[in-house]
Structure 1
Amino acid sequence: MDFSSAAKRKHDHEQDLNNKRFHLDTTETEFNTGNDTLEDEEDEYVKQFSSDQRLALPDEPNCVVCGKYGEYINDDTNHDICSLQCKAINTDLNQHKLVKKKAKKPTIVTPTRDYVAANVHAKLTNYQEPLSIASMSTQQVDQLLKAHEVQVTGSNIPKPFSTYDQLASLLGDTILHNIESMGWSMATGVQRQAVTVGLAGRDAMVIAPTHSGKTAAFCIPMLVHCVSLSMMDNYKRRSGPYAMIMAPTRELCCQIENVMKKLAMGLRNMRTGLLIGGEPLPNQLYRLKKGVQVIIGTPGRILDVVTHHPKLLRVWKIRMIVLDEADAMFSLGFGTQVKQILGKLHDKIPRQTSYFSATMSDDKMLKKLYDQLVMPIEIKVEQQKKIARLPEASDQVRQTILWVENKSKAKRLYSILRDSKYFVIPILVFVASRLGAEFLSRAIKKRNPHLRVVAMHGDKTQEERAIVITGINQTEPLWDVIVSTDVLARGIDLPSVRLVINYDMAATLDDYVHRIGRAILQKPLPEKAKQQRGWSITFINQEHQHLLKSFASMLSNKSVAMVTPLPRQLKQYLQ
């Protein structure tokens, strides 16, 4: 963007109280007019960024983008602006009105901070690394990332941070207070890098284990950008949605919305819309009609609304997209729906797209979408280095593998449930099918009438699912044993669960990692806590032949404290 695109406003208090406008041009002809007064005015520094401008006094004009002193006039729109940055944003947002007036595209100012993306919300938020972050040397950055087992690849990567207090000027008092009230003042490993990447508006692929803080890693920067966009739109209720989060299960969507609501508490004009199956569609459409800024939902319901109610869910307004549990989204067959949803978005509007997952998928469709990201930054936490392409199970769960034939599995399960060493409620038992969940839960009840047992699977209504999850997470759990399909394997926080039993081995090692992740104990633990790690017990046999070699390799590098001695039938696959 050049000076010819802005008109300089000056105040001459001695002659006139009204503003006088002077047109600047970078052409040599006008700069050499011989007029000393004009040369002096043109020599003055023209502010590049909104952060360089001061606040407006009572009698001064306001910038239409950020509200600061409107020192200039945008020649493209005739609107008051404070800097070349806000001029570019104002022109971009009014481009559809300028097409007939100007054939030439507006020149965009390239930010001097090369780690910031070129999308509108990144320009509005105007992320600048605070001095405590910007002053970090390369060696200090490397040490910080290494200490938290974070690997980062990409170009022009924003530096990580340690505590949210360092970002206070950008987050604002309300969001910072909400973060601290949730106990997140000290950032987790993935948050230290992913939050700054998100604030800079950059595309990202984030691979981090369960309970590593991925939800906060994308919710916090998304919320900051939504506040910037809402402010630009004068807090109009129907100005959104600005962001969309897709997740594979209803429960995970509900959990994400709950986190987003807690973070947005007290913010002006910041509402969420939950689009999931199992709930009445008219209620969800009414919510959209009233106006929301963040959409959270499953691919099926989102596609349904986008297709049949495009005026309520205006996808052309969306500036940020997050796919949570992206690998599960595609492995569960939602890939086509996700692709259709993304296909309905306008290609010409620069967006920020992020994929979050606990494991890396080999799905070809997902890889094609990843290739479409703009200068993406890849963040990996606690990934397996020694064994190529094998998932990494958390060290916070001790794993016990038992070789049990199918006909003996029920008997072995009953034995475990009677053993006081293992019996710490609630116990989560995974099975392969919905029918299996019903049959096994009834069998456990019949054998142990004193136990409170419930089945959990996809045939349950949303209300029934919510009751089960709430019962698990109570201080005094409502259930002793929960027999579930993989519907509880991903994303859901189950802080009370200390023991996971894989009655039926998972179909893939990725699913196995997600399942046992339910047993990760929530920190901090009581000082005198006897159990410092969660526990998982897995039944395997020859039926899982296709997994045994990889499974044995994955477990072989773990210490005895992490994995109890393997059965001899499994050890033979290490030879």
Structure 2
Amino acid sequence: MSDTTIDFAGLNLPAPLLAAVTDLGFTAPTPIQVQSIPHMLEGHDILGEAQTGTGKTAAFGLPALARLDPSKRHVQMLVLAPTRELAIQVSKSLEEFAVNLKGLRITTLYGGQPYGPQLRDLERGCQVVVATPGRLMDHIRRGSLQLDAVSCCVLDEADEMLNMGFLEDIEWILEHLSEEAQMALFSATMPQQIRRIANRFLKDPKHVKIAADQNAKANITQKAWKVTGVSKQTALERLAETLPYDAMIVFVRTRGDTVDLAAQLNGLGFKAAALNGDMSQQQREHTVAQLHKGRISILIATDVVARGLDVPRITHVVNYDLPMDSESYVHRIGRTGRAGREGEAILFARPREMRLLRNYERQTKGTIIPMDLPTAEELGRHRVGRLQEELVKCVEERNLDELKSMLTDMAEKTEQDILSLAAALLFERQRKKPLKPKPDPEPRFDRRDRGDRPERGERRERGPRRENINFDTYRLAVGKEHGAQVKDIVGALANELQMESRLIGQIRLFGEHTLVQLPQDLPPYAQNDLKTIRIRNRQIDGQQTDEVIPPRPERDGDRRPRRDGEFRGRRDGGGYRGNREGGRDGGGYRGNREGGRDGGGYRGNRDGNREGGYRGNRDGNREGGYRGRRDNNGGSFRDGNRFEGRGERREGGYRGNRNDRD
């Protein structure tokens, strides 16, 4: 019988399980279920290769439950999951499948929960245990759980357990099982370490592999917005206001970002909450429950805590920060479009990240469609339309006679016409969300082509600019004591705000802070970005200040002797060479050397690690901008402070910092 015609009744499931599946609304089994259930019912070991969202829980849960004996109170089935969230989700699904199996009990064991309730559940007796590796090992060592009578063991998302460092723990646990126990291992990918476990612990397994185009990703529309014009935060706010979503999960890179972004959205009237590893298990469970009940519509989460999250309401996934790898991308977007439902996945990609989209398309065997963000004008029309609908609905459903009388009375007393009073009400109503938002800013600061822009080397604190630019002063929460240098400030601001360095005025570093001059017409998105940029692993929290940058002290005495870096004359365009004692440690402005380095500029330090300087254009051979240090072969600065590559060309960018991640 083909996969396209078979139904659950044709899988030889016992009547109680078949009835439960029917009550849950499942109509046709997924490919992984069609291929796995018959083999497991026959007692075969299974090696399953399938992405998340393909129905794996039913694929192993239904046949394993069918082979249990509810009359026996010892543990017969063990499921290992990498995270607490996935363990809870698997337990919930198994309970739904087993609703008609009288006497069957399921216990969930995971860290972050008191031992007392878990010990009581184990003492009362249960046939099924779903656990995370760490807590399961604790119970085995305590003697509160024995695995010698387990007849079926399932490893769910084995590759994720490998990524989280559970490989040795898994082997230790499996060594406590009897050799006769049936084994099922499911993984999205099959790295060598997973195959080694399969070869050691599985007996002649049936290999089930589901191609990406057969899984639930076919139900997900993938879109990408290229980050231009406005900040990612503004983009998310616009999508949250205009998309027809039921619930949305937004993925960010760090725990702190989940809290900050959720707070910002709540301040604008959205129902948002954070979900991260710093929260207690009770808090995380409460947050997910709120999402299920509809009390939360937007969840801001990190990768690890969202593993296994299955909330039918989630219609949209937003990749606010791009994931580290393609597998994580697949797991993320798998939070929507589950069990045959439609879903939409949107990612925010900075220009330098656009190349990653091809990797995601290859992994999902899908197409990522470019999308435009709603403009300020379109947002305004949307707000007016929604307000109009609300007002019409209110007129049709409410008795407004008393309020009309009040309005008429106000008009008489104030000698204002009713239309003006109504307009005043609209004005007050739209203070937080203007019906006519400010126009979108022009494209970010004009930038020369990176190839025409020379490198920057070690710089002294910058003095006043000669150009006619009006500046404001900003205070940055990073300084000399944190290891910050002027080149770090220039590199971060130029790269993250996408502005030319000539638009950066004076910079003065102090112990724990820095003062920097930036243009007075700095657009709102740039002011927002200033608060989140990180330099030397610190969020700079840039704020406008009235502080005045003090002038640099004048030098005392005469200039230094010629040998410490004199003006050498033209030398066919050559200029200030700097200090040459002991080599080229004090290399300075090289100028133009005909026939060789025609565009050579400020070279900076060349001592050992060759910290990049202001190189200029060398006949097109080494064009580039801010190079930073060259002892790691370059690599460009990715949003979120990760390197995009370390190729041999050494065309580096601002290296930034690597934030701690969940």
Relative to the length of structure 2, the TM-score reads 0.52
Give the 5 Å matches for 1:126-525.
Answer: 141=1, 144-145=2-3, 147=4, 162-167=6-11, 171-184=13-26, 186-227=28-69, 235-237=71-73, 240-309=74-143, 312-346=144-178, 349-357=179-187, 359-362=188-191, 364-372=192-200, 373-383=202-212, 394-404=217-227, 408-418=231-241, 420=242, 422-446=243-267, 448=268, 450-474=269-293, 477-487=294-304, 489-520=306-337, 523=340
User: Residue type of the partner of 1:430?
Assistant: F
- What residue number does 2:343 align with? 534
Deviation at 1:491, TM superposition (A): 2.2
Deviation at 1:538, TM superposition (A): 0.7
Whole-Å Cα distance in 2 between the matches of residues 306 and 414 of structure 1?
Answer: 48
Deviation at 1:416, TM superposition (A): 2.3
Cα deviations across residues 189-217 of structure 1 (Å, max 9, x unaligned)?
22112110110111112223333221111
Cα deviations across residues 365-387 of structure 1 (Å, max 9, x unaligned)?
212111122111111223369xx
- What residue number does 1:129 align with? none
Q: Is the 8 A contact 1:236 1:269 kept in 2?
A: no
Q: Which runs of 5+ in 2 are unaligned?
A: 374-644, 646-662
Whole-Å Cα distance in 2 between the matches of residues 334 and 244 of structure 1?
Answer: 16
User: Residue type of the partner of 2:182?
Assistant: Q
Cα deviations across residues 116-141 of structure 1 (Å, max 9, x unaligned)?
xxxxxxxxxxxxxxxxxxxxxxxxx5
Deviation at 1:400, TM superposition (A): 1.2
Whole-Å Cα distance in 2 between the matches of residues 337 and 544 of structure 1?
Answer: 36
Whole-Å Cα distance in 1 between the matches of residues 115 and 355 of structure 2?
Answer: 42
Question: Helix, strand or coil for the counterpart of 2:52?
Answer: coil
Whole-Å Cα distance in 2 between the matches of residues 189 and 403 of structure 1?
Answer: 35
Deviation at 1:565, TM superposition (A): 6.9
Whole-Å Cα distance in 1 between the matches of residues 166 and 103 of structure 2?
Answer: 32
Deviation at 1:318, TM superposition (A): 1.2
Q: Is the 8 A contact 1:325 1:491 kept in 2?
A: no
Q: Which runs of 5+ in 1 are unaligned?
A: 1-140, 148-160, 386-391, 525-532, 568-572
Q: 1:563 aligns with which of 369, 373, 390?
A: 369
Q: Is the 8 A contact 1:452 1:481 kept in 2?
A: yes
| Aligned length, in residue pairs | 375
* Overall identity of the aligned pairs, in %: 28
User: Residue type of the partner of 2:66?
Assistant: V
Whole-Å Cα distance in 2 between the matches of residues 480 and 465 of structure 1?
Answer: 15
Change (3 A) 1:246 1:546: farther
Question: Helix, strand or coil for the counterpart of 1:165?
Answer: helix
Q: Is the 8 A contact 2:225 2:371 kept in 1?
A: no
User: Residue type of the partner of 2:54?
Assistant: S
Whole-Å Cα distance in 2 between the matches of residues 440 and 187 of structure 1?
Answer: 39
Whole-Å Cα distance in 2 between the matches of residues 242 and 335 of structure 1?
Answer: 23
User: Residue type of the partner of 1:536?
Assistant: A
Whole-Å Cα distance in 2 between the matches of residues 313 and 545 of structure 1?
Answer: 50
Whole-Å Cα distance in 1 between the matches of residues 14 and 339 of structure 2?
Answer: 28
Change (3 A) 1:281 1:554: closer
Q: Is the 8 A contact 1:416 1:423 kept in 2?
A: no
Whole-Å Cα distance in 2 between the matches of residues 339 and 466 of structure 1?
Answer: 29
Change (3 A) 1:319 1:293: same
- What residue number does 2:507 align with? none
User: Residue type of the partner of 2:346?
Assistant: I
Question: Helix, strand or coil for the counterpart of 1:506?
Answer: coil
Change (3 A) 1:500 1:457: same
- What residue number does 1:51 align with? none
Superposed structure 1 runs of 4+ greater than 6 Å apart: none
- Give the structure with the larger helix fraction: 1
Change (3 A) 1:162 1:250: same
Deviation at 1:179, TM superposition (A): 2.4
User: Residue type of the partner of 2:152?
Assistant: M
Q: Is the 8 A contact 1:244 1:294 kept in 2?
A: yes
User: Residue type of the partner of 1:222?
Assistant: A
Whole-Å Cα distance in 1 between the matches of residues 310 and 352 of structure 2?
Answer: 31
Change (3 A) 1:546 1:284: farther
Relative to the length of structure 1, the TM-score reads 0.60
Change (3 A) 1:213 1:551: closer
Question: Helix, strand or coil for the counterpart of 2:204?
Answer: coil
Deviation at 1:173, TM superposition (A): 3.1
Q: Is the 8 A contact 2:277 2:305 kept in 1?
A: no
User: Residue type of the partner of 2:170?
Assistant: V
Whole-Å Cα distance in 1 between the matches of residues 198 and 304 of structure 2?
Answer: 26
Change (3 A) 1:558 1:411: same
Change (3 A) 1:542 1:296: same
Question: Helix, strand or coil for the counterpart of 2:43?
Answer: coil
Whole-Å Cα distance in 2 between the matches of residues 354 and 183 of structure 1?
Answer: 26
Deviation at 1:269, TM superposition (A): 3.7
Cα deviations across residues 286-343 of structure 1 (Å, max 9, x unaligned)?
211121111111111101111222xx31111112110111111111222222122112
User: Residue type of the partner of 1:329?
Assistant: M
- What residue number does 2:657 align with? none
Deviates more, 1:281-290 or 1:399-408: 399-408
Q: Is the 8 A contact 2:330 2:363 kept in 1?
A: no
Question: Helix, strand or coil for the counterpart of 2:145?
Answer: coil
Deviation at 1:454, TM superposition (A): 0.6
Q: Is the 8 A contact 1:402 1:540 kept in 2?
A: yes
Deviates more, 1:485-494 or 1:452-461: 485-494
Whole-Å Cα distance in 2 between the matches of residues 185 and 551 of structure 1?
Answer: 30
Change (3 A) 1:566 1:394: farther
Q: Is the 8 A contact 2:336 2:344 kept in 1?
A: yes
Whole-Å Cα distance in 2 between the matches of residues 262 and 436 of structure 1?
Answer: 35
Give the 5 Å matches for 1:18-37.
Answer: none
Question: Helix, strand or coil for the counterpart of 1:505?
Answer: coil
Whole-Å Cα distance in 1 between the matches of residues 354 and 196 of structure 2?
Answer: 31
